[in-house]
Amino acid sequence: MSACGPTSPPPKSSGNGREEERNEQGSERGDPDRRAQRSPEDGITKAEFVNYYRTVSRLMLPHLRGRPLVMERHPDGYRGRSFIHKDVPDYFPDWIHRREVPKEGGTVTMMVCDDTATLAYLANQSRITPHPWLARADRLDCPDRLVFDLDPPGDDFEIVRWTARRLRDLLTGLGLAPAVMTTGSRGLHLLVLLDRRTDFDTARAFARSAADLLAARHPDKLTTAPRKDKRRGRLNLDTQRNAYAQTSVAPYAVRPPPRPHRYPVTWDELDDPELGPQRWTLRSLHDRLSDRGDAWKELSRCRRSLAGARRRLDALVNEEAA
């Protein structure tokens, strides 16, 4: 089963297999192994992060290109403090693409990750986890993807599987083609590709209405309550990130350990008893790709218009409310 139901060029290699990169003071940085921040538990080095992103860039860049990017920075190593920031630092090289993005009261200059060199540069700058927008920079008000976050109350993954299947069936019945991936936390994300003809308000309203409908069908198991004290042990169907300037961690992204990483999976894999939200890590990438390849290699075929799905959803809501 498939996944769905004018800037100067990057710097040339120095010949030793490493790009020259700048640190925050603008000085050159060489071998990342020598400055790696290691974990006493797993010994992962910065060089491993950089090499990981180089390895996975072919799969990851389709989910980053053309999108404003929010950066998660770990200056003290991945187990230390972290910062989320949107603006591009002044010392970043000119060959990294930028985009002026409107915000309340002005604009912010954000980065766009369009190539492997940028991805590797970010990793060597301790920007471990990329958070791309759900819209592309040439049409910021119209998302090209919709995200449903299945957030369970605990570590029971069976309720997550159960919910993913039912949400898939609902969305497929509405004419959409959802894909699924692990989150590196406790749940799953369902992703729906859109044709960029719908604004954020409309897309978010649709996602919330679909989630409300499914929760109404299974009120003992599911909820859309944003407050945890209102969920009463039920899985939350979270659609809040479907809004202007909101982000979603990119597929194949490294999450700060001890959390594993986000990996696309096929719907067939959802039946695998060994599947869980924390199954794969940076060091298990090779085995994963050797075994399955790119689970989302046909994802581009899954793009749909939301117009017909909205009409069908409205009809369902009215029918079940009658």
pLDDT at position 54 is 94
pLDDT at position 32 is 44
pLDDT at position 282 is 80
Token pair of 178 as six digits:
């959802």
pLDDT at position 5 is 60
**Cβ 184 vs Cβ 250: under 8 Å:** no
On the question of pLDDT at 39 being above 70, the answer is no
Residue-wise pLDDT for 245-285, tens only, equals 999 999 999 877 645 578 899 999 999 888 877 777 788 77
On the question of pLDDT at 84 being above 80, the answer is yes
Q: Secondary structure of 280-297 in the HEC alphabet?
A: CCHHHHHHHHHHHCCCCC
pLDDT at position 170 is 98
Q: How many angstroms separate the CA atoms of 159 and 156, rounded?
A: 6
**CB under 8 Å to 291, separation ≥6 — which residues?**
none
Best CA proximity match to 10, nearest among 122, 177, 104: 122
On the question of pLDDT at 31 being above 90, the answer is no
pLDDT at position 291 is 80
Residue-wise pLDDT for 85-138, tens only, equals 899 999 999 999 999 999 988 999 999 999 999 999 999 988 888 999 999 999
**Cβ 242 vs Cβ 191: under 8 Å:** no
How far is the CA of 79 from the CAs of 27, 39, 41, 186, 322, in angstroms? 25, 7, 11, 19, 53
pLDDT, greater one: 120 or 230: 120
pLDDT at position 22 is 35
Q: 221-232 burial, b if ≥16 CB within 10 A, otherwise e?
A: ebbbeeeeeebe
Within 13 A of 58's CA, how many CA atoms are on the CB side? 5
Mean pLDDT for the stretch of residues 35-49:
62
On the question of pLDDT at 17 being above 60, the answer is no
Name the residue with tokens 């409309």.
202
Mean pLDDT for the stretch of residues 136-158:
95
pLDDT at position 42 is 61
Residue 15: pLDDT band with limits 50, 70, 90: very low
Torsion sign (Cα): 262, 211, 2, 175: negative
Q: How many angstroms separate the CA atoms of 64 and 321, rounded?
A: 40
Residue-wise pLDDT for 200-226, tens only, equals 999 999 999 999 999 999 999 999 998
Q: How many angstroms separate the CA atoms of 300 and 309, rounded?
A: 18
Best CA proximity match to 4, nearest among 191, 186, 130: 191
Q: How many angstroms separate the CA atoms of 95 and 273, rounded?
A: 45
On the question of pLDDT at 38 being above 60, the answer is no
pLDDT, greater one: 27 or 108: 108
On the question of pLDDT at 151 being above 70, the answer is yes
Torsion sign (Cα): 115, 116, 119, 120: negative
Residue 46: pLDDT band with limits 50, 70, 90: confident
Query: Percent of the chain scored above 70 by pLDDT?
Result: 84
Instruction: Determine the straight-line distance between the first and last CA of the chain, rounded to whole angstroms.
Output: 36
Q: 162-172 burial, b if ≥16 CB within 10 A, otherwise e?
A: bbbeebbebbe
Mean pLDDT for the stretch of residues 232-255:
93
Mean pLDDT for the stretch of residues 164-186:
94
pLDDT, greater one: 248 or 81: 248
On the question of pLDDT at 76 being above 90, the answer is no
